Amino acid sequence: MNDESRISVLFICMGNICRSPTAEGVFRKMVEDAGLSATIEIDSAGTHAFHSAEPPDGRAQVAAENRGYSLKGIKARRVVDADYERFDLLLVMDDENRQVLLERADAAHHSKIRLFLDYAGGDSREVPDPYYGGSAGFERVLDLVESAARGLLAELQQKTGSGDA
């Protein structure tokens, strides 16, 4: 992060079409609602390039829209080396993808790589991949993402002194 007044967050899953774009869309709305869009930069990516340039999974889009979140304009991309330098937080949906990032990143960036659900305060550590399941899996992802996004926003508001969650 070059500008001390800005915080940058990258949400990461495997293919960047289900969990991480959902996290991006949910967190973006929460940040906008809190009036912090100028302070917090948000993006998402995948550890693999299976779906590069594709929009989020249609089921993820429908589930998000049903809760008032938009995933429009998000296109899948793979994490690139510059992301380790560019982003202050690289928030991963599961341990497998966290391990991939830790193996690829210089040790100087390891402290930025965290499990997203660490901000949820519950017992769950991982956001399960809903890709091979039905709509209930996408609803579960939204439940977990909303909880973690609220916790993340509260922490970032404390760090920036920008109000209550």
Residues with active-site annotation: 13, 19, 129
Using CA atoms, how far apart are residues 54 and 59, in angstroms rounded to an integer? 14
Using CA atoms, how far apart are residues 85 and 102, in angstroms rounded to an integer? 14
Strand 113-115 relative to strand 89-92, pairing: parallel
DSSP state of 107: G
Using CA atoms, how far apart are residues 25 and 57, in angstroms rounded to an integer? 13
